[in-house]
Amino acid sequence: MKFFIDTGNLAQIKEANELGILDGVTTNPTLMAQVGVKGEAAIAEHYKAICEIVNGDISAEVLSTDFATMVEEGKKLAAIHPNIVVKVPMIKDGIKAIKWFTDNGIRTNCTLVFSAGQAILAAKAGATYVSPFIGRIDDSSWDGMELISQIRHIYDVQGFQTQILAASIRNALHIVKAAEAGADVCTCPLDSILGLLKHPLTDIGLAKFLEDAKKM
């Protein structure tokens, strides 16, 4: 399973990248606004900066909702760097745009996916990635991980090549469960990635080893 970090924060992206296990970055308008990126030029500069830190796929989201504007926006985003993946919302024009990008060699991430039916449409349009939002499904008392398993099953049975990108990850357990369910990618906040490190017996064991090392 590939690991992406889900943030627009350059310091966090650097910190995750330094672990040596980072395969890419996802952003969205909320995450970009959180780090104060505003205006077309600043947005492009920010994506460029992310691409310079991480050698992997970087999702950059279109801000429009009609086919023609999404295509124009996506072309500009894709021109920023070869690693840019154009993130497109799961709406009717979004599916048309994903098909257009697919036919024109531009890779896509279909975002805001909450059902297996939507995931089938994304795959049919040729999306590189499909992003089911696990945490938001859990927040509404459905089982987000069930959706990952269902999409995995459908894609395997049908031979769809679209990669399942588990998104809206809230904690380290989500990462483990997404791996178990067969997600191709997990995009996570830095805290959830670092949460994977935690085990009290590791800390206790290391403290003892370091103490005993003094007697060596």
12 is an interface residue for ligand E4P by CB under 6 A: no
Shortest Å distance, C-beta 184 to ligand E4P: 14
87 counts as catalytic? yes
Answer for the pair 126, 98: CB distance below 8 angstroms, yes or no. yes
Choices 41-49, 94-102, 130-138, 141-149 (CB under 6 A): range interacting with ligand E4P: 130-138
Whether the Cβ atoms of residue 50 and residue 10 lie closer than 8 Å to each other: yes
Place of tokens 């970009």: 32
Residues 135-174 that bind ligand E4P (CB under 6 A): 135-136, 167-168
Residue 185 β-bridge partners: 2, 165
Check 2, 38, 48, 87 and give the catalytic one: 87
State how far the Cα of 145 lies from the Cα of 147, in Å rounded to an integer. 5
Looking at 12, 17, 108, 111, which residue binds ligand E4P (CB under 6 A)? 111
Q: Where in 176-195 is the site for ligand E4P (CB under 6 A)?
A: 187
List the one residue out of 117, 176, 107 whose CA is nearest residue 151. Answer: 117
Under rule CB under 6 A, which residues in 71-100 are in contact with ligand E4P?
Answer: none
For residue 115, give every residue at least 6 positions away whose Cβ sits within 8 Å of its Cβ, in sequence order, or none.
147
Which regions of the chain does DSSP assign to beta strands (E)? 2-6, 24-26, 57-61, 84-89, 108-113, 129-132, 163-166, 185-188
Give the residue, chosen from 26, 118, 128, 192, that forms a contact with ligand E4P under the rule CB under 6 A.
26
Q: Contact with ligand E4P (CB under 6 A): which of 3, 6, 54, 144?
A: 6
Catalytic residues: 87
Binding site for ligand E4P (CB under 6 A): 6, 26, 28, 111, 131, 133, 135-136, 167-168, 187
